[in-house]
Amino acid sequence: MDTEKSGKDFIRANIDEDNASGRFDGAVHTRFPPEPNGFLHLGHAKSIVLNFGVAKEYGGLCNLRFDDTNPEKEDSSYVDAIREDVKWLGGKWDDREYYASDYFDKLYEYAEELIRRGKAYVDDLSADEIREYRGTLTEPGRNSPWRDRSVEENLDLFRRMKAGEFPDGSRVLRAKIDMASPNLVMRDPTLYRIRNAKHHRTGEQWHIYPMYDYAHCLSDSIEGITHSLCTLEFVNNRELYDWILDALGVYHPRQIEFARLNLAHTILSKRKLIQLVREGHVKGWDDPRMPTLSGLRRRGAPPEAIREFVNRVGVARADSTVDYGMLEYCIREKLNETSPRAMAVLDPVRVVIENYPEDKIEEFDMPYHPEKPEFGSRIVPFARELYIERDDFRLNPPPKFHRLSPGSEVRLRYAYIIKCRDVVLDDDGNVVEIRCEYDPDSRGGKTSDGRKVKGTIHWTAAKTAKKAEVRLYDKLFLTADPNDVPEGQDFTANLNPRSLETREAWIEPALAKAKPGDVFQFERLGYFRADEDSAENKPVFNRAVTLRDTWAKLESANRDRKAG
| 131: annotated active-site residue | no
Asked if 268 is part of the footprint of ligand ATP (rule: CB under 6 A), the reply reads yes
Enumerate residues 388-417 that contact ligand ATP by CB under 6 A: none
29, 30, 34, 188: which one contacts ligand ATP (CB under 6 A)?
34
Q: Which span (201-209, 263-271, 343-351, 507-515) binds ligand ATP, by CB under 6 A?
A: 263-271
Query: From its phi and psi, is residue 526 left (phi > 0), alpha (psi between -120 and 50) or beta?
Result: left
Distance CA 315, CA 3 (A): 7
Asked if 378 is part of the footprint of ligand ATP (rule: CB under 6 A), the reply reads no
CB of 82 to ligand ATP, least distance (A): 8
How big is the CA angle at 486 (ends 481 and 491), to the nearest 5 degrees?
Answer: 45
64, 115, 261, 415: which one contacts ligand ATP (CB under 6 A)?
261
* Closest chain position to ligand ATP (CB): 43
* Strand-pair category, 409-412 with 341-342: unpaired
Q: What is the largest CA-CA distance in the chain?
A: 103
270, 307, 378, 411: which one contacts ligand ATP (CB under 6 A)?
270
Backbone angles phi, psi at 206, to 5 degrees: -110, 140
Separation in Å, CA 396 to CA 13, 351, 399, 408 = 61, 18, 10, 11
Asked if 44 is part of the footprint of ligand ATP (rule: CB under 6 A), the reply reads yes
Backbone angles phi, psi at 496, to 5 degrees: -85, 115
- 155, 115 in Cβ contact below 8 A? yes
Q: Which span (41-49, 336-344, 459-467, 495-503) binds ligand ATP, by CB under 6 A?
A: 41-49
| 307: annotated active-site residue | no
Question: How big is the chain, counted in residues?
Answer: 564
Asked if 260 is part of the footprint of ligand ATP (rule: CB under 6 A), the reply reads yes
Asked if 228 is part of the footprint of ligand ATP (rule: CB under 6 A), the reply reads no
Distance CA 521, CA 369 (A): 9
Distance CA 267, CA 292 (A): 10
3-class SS shares of the chain: helix, strand, coil, % to 5: 35, 25, 40
Which of 43, 526 has the CB closer to ligand ATP?
43
Which of 161, 273 has the CB closer to ligand ATP?
273
12, 15, 47, 499: which one contacts ligand ATP (CB under 6 A)?
47
**Which is the catalytic residue, given 31, 119, 193, 270?**
270
Q: Which span (197-205, 261-269, 296-304, 488-496) binds ligand ATP, by CB under 6 A?
A: 261-269
| 260: annotated active-site residue | yes
Distance CA 279, CA 276 (A): 5
Distance CA 478, CA 337 (A): 31
Q: Which span (21-29, 31-39, 178-186, 334-342) binds ligand ATP, by CB under 6 A?
A: 31-39
Q: Which residues contact 99 (CB under 8 A, 6 or more apart)?
A: 65, 66, 68, 201
Asked if 291 is part of the footprint of ligand ATP (rule: CB under 6 A), the reply reads no
Which of 270, 471 has the CB closer to ligand ATP?
270
Asked if 238 is part of the footprint of ligand ATP (rule: CB under 6 A), the reply reads no
Asked if 269 is part of the footprint of ligand ATP (rule: CB under 6 A), the reply reads yes
Which of 213, 392 has the CB closer to ligand ATP?
213
Catalytic residue IDs? 35, 260, 270
Residues that bind ligand ATP (CB under 6 A): 33-35, 43-44, 46-47, 230-231, 260-261, 268-271
